[in-house]
Structure 1
Amino acid sequence: MIWVPLVTSIFLASGLGGLIPGGTRANVFERIFVVFLILGTLVGVVVITYMLYNAYKYRDQPSRAKSDAKDRPRLGELPTGGGGGRKLFVSFFLSSIIVLSLITWTYGTLLFVEAGDVPQEDELEIKVTGFQFGWKFEYPNGHTTSGELRIPEDQRIRLVATSEDVFHSFGVPGLRVKMDAIPGQETTQWVIGDEPGSYQALCYELCGVGHSYMAADIIVMERGAFDDWYENTTANETANQTVTA
């Protein structure tokens, strides 16, 4: 989509680039979670503190009985002492600024994630194919593996998913990536493994009796180790013939 990188460029040019988190998808979504958690906690503390303050200030006391009876408004009389709605206006104004700022920041952050779907020169494109009940991965050189995907660290990986039979959903919680695998269609998504390690990919679409066993290992390798492994692969090679890192 043309508008995604265009709007993202507008955000960056307007000086919001420093506020928009970058890096891997995991970093982006963790930043969104932290921001919402902090703001939600602050709002909760303010509301509960103000509630307890008013509960204590206006608690029932014998000394308040006469003053309350004296200041109680009569039928048809408007109460006074409200400040002419200034408190309501200020609270509404501040709340609007916070909410609009949060919406704008979140929208800009999600645009950064969507802009990653646009192909880049230095990325590695891997085709992901779901079938009952497993996953196949095809590299640019034609090398195909089943049940195991190896990717280099700190490099953008472009995943192109499809399915051979029914609807599947390819998801790797540890890398914060999830995409549909639909027969006859291709779904794209990007991911970056920021440190070597092993992650598990699962199917998140009920696809048959073997759905719960539909898993794959995602191995993030150091760049040099991955290059050595990839140079020793050939087209139409199966997962059992891969070289162990």
Structure 2
Amino acid sequence: MFEYLALAHQVPEEWRAQSAVFSELFFVFLAVGTLVGVVVVSYTLLHLYRNRDDGTDPKGFEAPQLGELPTGQSGGKSSKLFLSFGLSAIIVISLVVYSYGLLLYVEQGPSGDVADEQNMEVEVVGIQFIWQFNYDNGVQTTDTLYVPQGEVVRLAVTSDDVWHNFGAPELRVKADAIPGEYSHTWFIANETGTYDVKCYELCGSGHSQMTAEINVMEEEEFDEWYEKAGANVTETPTPTPDDHGGDEDEGGGHGSQPAHGDAATNARMGVAA
């Protein structure tokens, strides 16, 4: 049928949705922060108790001098200080490396031969105050993006008038819609259902009503809809971003934008599901 639907439906284990990646980052930082906090607070309370003022003169207490590291103190105080510095550095560097690897995956998306075959590309056009979705077979839909479950969906987001911002909070997807440029993002929806889409850039009096939804369908159901909708297309298929020099620039991952003609008219010529 279609190449990206002809492959196995199951998402490879190494592919993870952006929502799963960000959830993992959140819980890892929460766990590490909680553990470090418990250790630091417990250690502080322990020494507050040990060194409390009990009315007697402390013996053998060597107060550190202001502005000097206690390298010459006895009792292992200096070793404890440098041990804490070393552990802190190890924890911070480990979190930075770990986070960078995950965020690099979020930036680039799944890769490999299977990922390239299963990619589904959709052009997203923001128009006051609607969202238009253009598929590579010429199908246009308005305010509803239909996608198959478990597939890599890559979006090329642009605008026909003013700045908008395409965002689907539940899928952790967000991209600027800028006139004359493309912002690229992707997502994988592992569960069927509908997900809310909103505009997150103040774009005019109808900004709060500029909403849409992502309808995640089972593979067979989407296959049937895609074929039926494509057969009903009578207009010239809408050009894809690649047809208009959609190569990403070095700064923000944008390309040039095609001319859409009468945006409001074209947006309302979408094929109903």
Question: Which of the five TM-score ranges fits, normalised by the shorter chain?
Answer: 0.7 to 0.9
> Does 1:58 find its partner at 2:54?
no
The alpha carbon displacement at 1:37 in A equals 0.8
Q: Secondary structure at the match of 2:117?
A: coil
The alpha carbon displacement at 1:21 in A equals 7.0
Q: Distance in 1 between matches of 2:44 and 2:162?
A: 54
Residue matched to 2:217: 221
Residue matched to 1:3: none
Q: Secondary structure at the match of 2:116?
A: coil
Change (3 A) 1:84 1:37: closer
Q: Secondary structure at the match of 1:124?
A: strand
The alpha carbon displacement at 1:93 in A equals 1.1
For residue 66 of structure 1, what is the amino acid of its counterpart?
D
> Does 1:193 find its partner at 2:212?
no
Query: Matches of residues 93-132 of structure 1 in structure 2 within 5 Å?
Result: 93-116=86-109, 120-132=116-128
Residue matched to 1:33: 26
For residue 30 of structure 2, what is the amino acid of its counterpart?
L
Asked whether the equivalents of residues 131 and 163 of structure 1 are also in contact (C-alpha less than 8 Å), the reply is yes
Query: Matches of residues 71-90 of structure 1 in structure 2 within 5 Å?
Result: 71=61, 80-83=73-76, 85-90=78-83
> Does 1:142 find its partner at 2:134?
no
Where in structure 1 are there 5+ consecutive unaligned residues? 1-19
For residue 224 of structure 2, what is the amino acid of its counterpart?
D
For residue 144 of structure 2, what is the amino acid of its counterpart?
E
> Does 1:175 find its partner at 2:171?
yes
Pick aligned residue for 2:58 from 64, 67, 76 = 67
Residue matched to 2:208: 212
Change (3 A) 1:227 1:72: closer
Residue deviations 1:56-103 (CA, integer Å, cap 9, x gap): 1112213xx2335x7577x9xx98435261111111111111111111
Pick aligned residue for 1:46 from 23, 39, 56 = 39
The alpha carbon displacement at 1:241 in A equals 4.8
Where in structure 2 are there 5+ consecutive unaligned residues? 1-12, 236-266
Q: Distance in 2 between matches of 1:54 and 1:97?
A: 24
Q: Secondary structure at the match of 2:137?
A: coil
Q: Secondary structure at the match of 2:191?
A: coil
Larger proportion of helix: 1
Change (3 A) 1:38 1:155: same
Change (3 A) 1:184 1:80: closer
Change (3 A) 1:144 1:59: same
Q: Secondary structure at the match of 2:222?
A: helix
Residue deviations 1:114-165 (CA, integer Å, cap 9, x gap): 2228782321110000011110001111110111111000000010010000
Q: Distance in 2 between matches of 1:23 and 1:195?
A: 13
Report the identity percentage: 45
For residue 40 of structure 1, what is the amino acid of its counterpart?
G
Aligned-residue CA RMSD (Å): 2.5
Q: Secondary structure at the match of 2:201?
A: coil
Residue matched to 1:12: none
Counting matched residue pairs gives 218
Residue matched to 1:154: 150
> Does 1:242 find its partner at 2:272?
yes
Residue matched to 2:251: none
Asked whether the equivalents of residues 168 and 180 of structure 1 are also in contact (C-alpha less than 8 Å), the reply is yes
